Amino acid sequence: MKVTIVDYNSGNISSVINSFEEVAKDKVNIEVTSDLGKIKSSDKLVLPGQGSFKSCVDALNNIDGLTETLNEFAINNEKPLLGICVGLQMFADIGYEETETKGLGWISGKVSKIDNQGGKFKLPHIGWNQVNFVKDSKIFKNIENNSHMYFVHSYEFIPEDKNVISATTDYCSNLVCSVEKDNIFGTQFHPEKSDKMGLKIIDNFINL
C-alpha cells in the first residue's frame, strides 16, 4: 500500500512526513511528491496545509493539473484523503483569509476568521486543547473522547451540513476541529504534533 503526502510548497511539512514514516515503519510505503502520476496511483492521500488559505490554494493551483488530480482521486474515485489544518480548510467552497478565495468545494461551507469576542481570546488559537467527538469517526478509533490535540489557527471551517462534523473544540465558541464525509477526512488540529493520540489518528488513517 502507498500513502502519499502531497508536496505543493505549503510551508514546513517535515513533521507530517516524520510522523507518517514513524507510524508506517516498513509496513506501508510513504511517498512525498507533487508528481501527478504518483498521486493518481496512491491508495491514500494526505493534504497538509500551513500558511494562509489563499497561499495554500494558490500553491495548489500553481502545479498544473494538481487540483484536477485531487478531485479525481477524492471525488470521482472515492479514495481516502486526509486534510490537515489548512488542508482541511481547503475542502470548503470559499475562504476569507487575505481575500475571498475559492476552495476545492468538496464540503459545502466557508472558512472565516475566528470570532475572538473583541479580543477576549488570543488569536491564533495555539497550543493544546480538548477535542470533543460528536460522532463516531474511523480515524478516532480507540482514542478517548476529550483527548488533547495541538492547534495553531486563526480561521475556522464552518460547514453547511453539520452532519459532516466529527469533533469540536471549545475556544471562543464550539469550533469545528474535525470533519468526515465518506472517504474524506480532515482535522483542524495537527495530529503530527499531538503526541501519542495524534500518532494513533495517523495509524487509524493508514489502516482504513
Active-site hit among 97, 156, 180, 192: 192
pLDDT of residue 11: 77
Strands (E), the chain: 2-6, 29-33, 44-47, 81-84, 94-95, 101-102, 109-113, 125-130, 132-133, 148-153, 155-159, 165-171, 173-181, 184-187
Q: Clarify whether 190 is annotated catalytic.
A: yes
- The set of residues, in sequence order, having a beta carbon less than 8 Å from that of 206 and lying 6+ positions away, is 1, 3, 20, 23, 24, 28, 44
Tens digit of each residue's pLDDT, the chain (208 residues):
999 999 998 777 999 999 999 999 988 999 999 999 999 999 999 999 999 999 999 999 999 999 999 999 999 999 999 999 999 999 999 999 999 999 999 999 999 999 998 888 999 999 999 999 999 999 999 999 999 999 999 999 999 999 999 999 999 999 999 999 999 999 999 999 999 999 999 999 999 9
Q: Clarify whether 192 is annotated catalytic.
A: yes
Q: Measuring CA to CA, which residue among 178, 182, 149 is closest to residue 79?
A: 182
* Sign, Cα dihedral of 50, 123, 147, 162: negative
Active-site hit among 125, 156, 177, 190: 190
The residue to which cell 492547534 is assigned: 151
3-state secondary structure of 21: helix
**Could you tell me the residue ranges of all domains in the chain?**
2-206
Active-site hit among 85, 125, 156, 177: 85
pTM reported for the whole predicted model:
0.97
The residue to which cell 506501508 is assigned: 28
Tell me the CATH number of domain 2-206, given options 3.40.50.880, 3.30.1490.20, 3.40.605.10, 3.30.450.90: 3.40.50.880
Q: Clarify whether 98 is annotated catalytic.
A: no
Tell me if 31 sits within 8 A of 71, measured CB to CB: no
Q: Measuring CA to CA, which residue among 104, 162, 165, 107 is closest to residue 140?
A: 165
Tell me if 10 sits within 8 A of 54, measured CB to CB: no
Indicate the DSSP class of residue 2: E
